[in-house]
Amino acid sequence: MVMKKVDIILSLLAGEGVAGLVYGLILGSGAEEVLGVKVNFLGWFLFIFLPILALAALWISYLIGKKFLFIFQVAKFLLIGVLATLLDLGVLNLLMWIFNVAAGQTFIVFKGISFLGATFSKYWGNKLWAFEQSEMTGVEKEFTQFFIVTLIGLGVNLGITSIIVNGIGPQLGIALKVWANIGAIAAALVGAVWNFLGYKFIVFKK
């Protein structure tokens, strides 16, 4: 196992993509007044720091992965997830911009299209990069398994979120919106664990 150019390129792209997303959220939130930091300066910091951070994290996982391969696979799996999420948001926003629609049934169609695009990108990214499987035989069956695992992961995500937010409810005096975010983060982590195990041991098992 060696660190390849594609590993470096994709990790830097993921870092830049996250920087762009965070910077866009900051611009639209008025955080400049709250943080007391010039947005332009913060943008430069994000676009330089986050790609370096992503590359450093991948490099560390590569070193650990020499002894425990799954660590390097997990790191690449997470980067693929970041890139796919960025693609999902990019396609969704492009469709909303082209058709000037941001709600209703048409929006749901747009979200379905962006989800499918992200799922295709995750499939090929995980197959060719995270789990390094280049054989093309049985791709149809493999993608069907991948899609089913991903849908189950979505169900797990929504289920955990519902249990924490609607079932358990806010605890220790935590505000409802903060608790909702805690539920969403916890659900995302559980869903990510399911997806990784499903991809590794069901979809891309050797």
Nearest to 73 by CA among 81, 83, 61, 60: 61
Q: Tell me how far CA of residue 172 lies from CA of 168, 175, 177, in angstroms.
A: 12, 9, 14
Report the C-alpha gap between 14 and 19 in whole angstroms: 9
3-state secondary structure 114-165: HHHHHHHHHHHHHHHHHCCCCCCCCHHHHHHHHHHHHHHHHHHHHHHHHHHH
d(CA 40, CA 81) in angstroms, rounded, equals 28
Q: The pTM is what?
A: 0.76
User: In this predicted structure, what is the pLDDT of residue 32?
Assistant: 52
DSSP state of 67: T
pLDDT in tens, 164-189: 878 887 877 777 766 776 777 788 88
Confidence grade of residue 17 (pLDDT, cut at 50, 70, 90)? confident
pLDDT of 14 > 90? The answer is no
Please report the pLDDT score of residue 90 as a whole number. 80
For residue 119, give every residue at least 6 positions away whose Cβ sits within 8 Å of its Cβ, in sequence order, or none. 84, 146, 147, 150
Average pLDDT, the chain: 81
Residue 16, classed as helix, strand or coil, is helix
User: pLDDT band for position 63 (50/70/90)?
Assistant: very high
Neighbouring C-beta atoms of residue 172, cutoff 10 Å: 5
